[in-house]
Amino acid sequence: MSMYAKDDIRSALRTATPTTTVDPSTPIRPAQLIEFPAGEPGEVSAGGSRTWFVRATNAVLAYTEARAGDLFPVRDGLDEYALLMYSESAPVRVTAGADEIQVNDEAMVIIPPGESVVKALADGVLIRLFSAHASELLARAVNAGAYEEPDVRVTPLGDAPGPVGGSRLRVHLLSDHPLSADRFGRIFRTSSLMVNFVPEEVGPRNPQKLSPHFHDDFEQLSFAVKGRFVHHIRYPWGPDSTQWRPDEVLKTAAPSVCIIPPPTVHTTRGIGELQQLLDIFAPPREDFGASGWVLNAHEYPDA
């Protein structure tokens, strides 16, 4: 449900049918804000790269301050994972099976299950996104304690079918998909994950043009990669007034990630001179899929 302005393209989204039924007295999880560097890194490579892991119910985000020449292997991946490259990312060489490719530009790189290696070719940021099937990473997350008990409001990952033609190394360059007024951002997906590369925004967002909305049954990870933001979170009232929460105003600067739980009403306002968000969802959003906005939907037609 939303309160989008009529001229916001998202106002035409088809309302998704909730997949979970939850007693309204069930407590709503608090939003989480993690700013990098987030305490001690979960992993430090021999070459000095530092990685912090942040988890949601169905996904794990790995944020790395990468050093040139360092290798980031996955030895027995059970699921596709993604490399999210924006303008400040380190250029990389990715090897998966017999496939190898160098990526220097903004892109969504989808890496197949099995054995793979990402090599940083220069110092810079490395952002990897895994599904929760990468169970060994869940306990290494800086916010692992927030999920000691599962959030019953969030739809768990299912066994989504793989891509047409089988899993392989796929590179979707943002430059191949110019921004368009007919769709929202640049959205890509895997079997389990969905990412919207929200366009860069120049100047503060108009406070009279915000977009408060909520999701019935999925978390949203809003990853600030550039600029400064304010996340506004409103917790709906249930029948138990002792569980009511005040509104939250979470001010942050990039790099940071805000994990927004269902069914909080939320909107985010850029307050800097230049800002950019990457919005992450797991599993992929059905309403975005039905909208025709997913740029690689042809690879996942049965999902």
pLDDT band at 101 (very low <50, low <70, confident <90, very high): very high
Residue 158 contacts residue 283 (beta carbons within 8 Å):
yes
pLDDT digits (tens, 9 = 90+) for 216-227: 999 999 999 999
Residues 51-90 have pLDDT tens digits of: 999 999 999 999 999 999 999 999 988 899 999 999 999 9
- Domains recognised in the chain with CATH numbers: 9-299 (2.60.120.10)
Q: What is the pLDDT of residue 160?
A: 78
Q: Give per-residue pLDDT as tens, 10-52.
A: 655 566 666 667 888 888 999 999 999 989 999 999 899 999 9
How many other CB atoms sit within 10 Å of the CB of residue 45?
17
CB atoms within 10 A of CB 237: 12
pLDDT tens-digit readout, 141-162? 999 999 999 999 999 998 878 8
Cα 84 from Cα 89, distance rounded (Å): 8
pLDDT of 120 over the 70 cut: yes
How far are the Cα atoms of 53, 129, 225, 247, 261 from residue 252, in angstroms, in the given order? 18, 21, 11, 16, 18
Q: Give the H or E element holding residue 137.
A: helix 135-138
Give yes or no for a contact between 243 and 27, defined as CB atoms under 8 angstroms apart: yes
